[in-house]
Amino acid sequence: MILIDPPNAAGHGRLWSHLASDTSLAELHAFAEGLGFSRRGFDRDHYDVPSEWYADVVAAGAEPVSSRELVRRLVAGGLRVRKPRTGGAAR
């Protein structure tokens, strides 16, 4: 299923949502491509979506969920990709 969280992540002077799939990256890329999203907006396991596109993405079929629920479902589906750690000593 395609999921979108509320536009609550600040960056570059605007608010952003995250568009993800709890099923497969293929499903996510197909949905995003159908809406005309560029692959440049893909970040490891989600697309960044500007707040002004939120209503259109929901109207296209994305399920609105909380940010916490989106992450929970990515983890449960085995699709969560964490940012690599930077800096610090090697372990």
**C-alpha span between 29 and 46 (Å, rounded):** 9
- In the DSSP assignment, the letter for residue 85 is P
Q: Is 78 helix (H, G, I), strand (E, B) or coil?
A: coil
Per-residue pLDDT tens, the chain, 91 aa: give them: 999 999 999 999 999 999 999 999 999 999 999 999 999 989 999 999 999 999 999 999 999 999 999 999 999 988 888 877 776 555 4
Q: Which residues contact 8 (CB under 8 A, 6 or more apart)?
A: 15, 17, 67
Q: Residue 85: its pLDDT value, please? A: 73
Please give the structure tokens belonging to residue 25. 């990256």
**C-alpha span between 87 and 45 (Å, rounded):** 23
* Contact yes or no for 35/60 (Cβ under 8 A): yes
